[in-house]
Amino acid sequence: MDGDEDAFRALYRRHTPRLWPLLGRMLGGAGFRADAEDAVQETWIRAVQALPSFRWEAAFSTWLTGIALNCARETLRKRKRGAELSTDGVLERLDGGRRPDPERRMDLEEAIAALPDGYRTVLVLHDIEGFTHLEISERLEIAVGTSKSQLHHARRAVRSHLEPGGRDEPDAIRRD
Amino acid sequence: MPYDETEWTAEEREALERLPREEDPGRLLEERTVAALKARGLLRPTGRREPRGARVGHPAWWAAAIAAGLALFFGGLALGQARSSAAARDLVLALRDADAAERPSLVQETGSLYVDAVASLAQLRESGNEAAVGTGVEVGLAALYAAAYELARLHPGDRRLREVLRALETPATTESDTAGVHWF
């Protein structure tokens, strides 16, 4: 690419449509569009900076996704500062201002967006992006068992959101 | 058969599979990202051949194009084909690509064009020509969009500017909003 604008734009247009839904969902959906935009930009800045050391025999999209995940995680960490969030699945709560109305039926995207960060991240990577638990554990630097546990709770929480008043409320979501 | 909480049902799995895996975030984010990379010295503009006369994409050309549109409109001419408001903005977008050093003056020029458009619109409203007013609004919005766009390029991290651009990019909601719009 060698700093060429047209070459970059071609690369951007080829890969960003794939990054955008991933980052959007990881960062909480439509309500956090600005964060997702920042993450896309930061992903490309880091990618271009690191491009000289990238070995093109590897899959560029995989490499880029790794950078994007790191950007998303950093954004979530910054957002969590001062908030009482846990990533081990024991005690998590919804972000302020995004608490769902229990009487209203949510669609799937909304239900995913309303999940606590830890649950949402694992569910998006496993159930939408197709990562294995081993891959998730490596990417997020968590135990495989933690990934499985997060996914279990995430699925319960999504079901609860989709069917208010139906099955059990998710045990990990505190409606305080 | 007991309900298994840990696995999706076939219906749920289908719903998950229907979620889009690819989506275009829009042109603005691309421009913002390119601007951020250029600001860090990570990207250089691709060299372009200059056609005889003016170079398409040159800020002066862009400003001149808007000025020409205003002149045609305010001169009472409906030349050229009718275009939707979205197409008019796309045209403005297609004319962008200023060099960093030239952007501040371009902002100033587009801002001046906007002021001119508003002043002329005030006169048009008294004439009672609704179609002309509608076209004038579109031309004014195009100039406003151009100015906001350049400001966003200068300050890519400014969320207020992004909101302004997003609002201006929102399609007209009623048929009358776009009817009878003429560009140049």
Chain A residue numbers with beta carbons less than 8 Å from the beta carbon of B11 are: none
pTM of the entire structure?
Answer: 0.56
Shortest CA distance from A41: residue in chain B: B33
> What separation in angstroms does the CA of B40 have from each of A88, B152, B156?
38, 16, 12
Q: Does B50 touch chain A (CB under 8 A)?
A: no
For the record, the structure tokens of B5 come out as 């909480």
How distant is the Cα of B33 from the closest Cα of chain A, in angstroms?
5
Query: Which amino acid does the sequence have at B39?
Result: A
Question: Does B33 contact A40 at a Cβ distance shorter than 8 Å?
Answer: yes
Cβ <8 Å between A16 and B30: yes
A169 interfaces chain B, CB cutoff of 8 Å: no
Interface confidence, given as ipTM, is 0.80
Q: How far apart are CA A82 and CA A79, in angstroms?
A: 8
Overall average pLDDT of the A144-155 stretch: 94
**Looking at per-residue confidence, does B90 or B30 come out higher?**
B30
- CA–CA separation, A73 and A78 (whole Å): 9
pLDDT in tens, B156-182: 778 888 888 777 766 554 444 433 333
Short-list B147, B134, B150, CA closest to B183: B134
Q: Does A32 touch chain B (CB under 8 A)?
A: no
**Which residue from A minimizes the CA distance to B6?**
A152
Q: What is the mean pLDDT of residues B24-41?
A: 88
Question: Which of A150-154, B62-66, B83-87, B179-183 has maximum average pLDDT?
Answer: A150-154
Q: Tell me, what DSSP letter sits at residue A125?
A: I
The answer to whether the CB atoms of A127 and B37 lie below 8 A apart is no
Residue B151 distance to chain A (closest CA, Å): 18
Round the average pLDDT of chain B to a whole number and report it.
Answer: 63
Residue A82: pLDDT band by 50, 70, 90 thresholds?
very low
Q: Which of A53-57, A95-99, A109-113 bottoms out in mean pLDDT, i.e. has the lowest?
A: A95-99
pLDDT of B86 > 70? The answer is no
Q: Which residue of B has its CA nearest to A126?
A: B16
* pLDDT: which is higher, B65 or A14: A14
Q: What angle do CA B89, B61, B88 make, to 5 degrees?
A: 15
- Which pLDDT score, from 0 to 100, does residue B135 have? 63
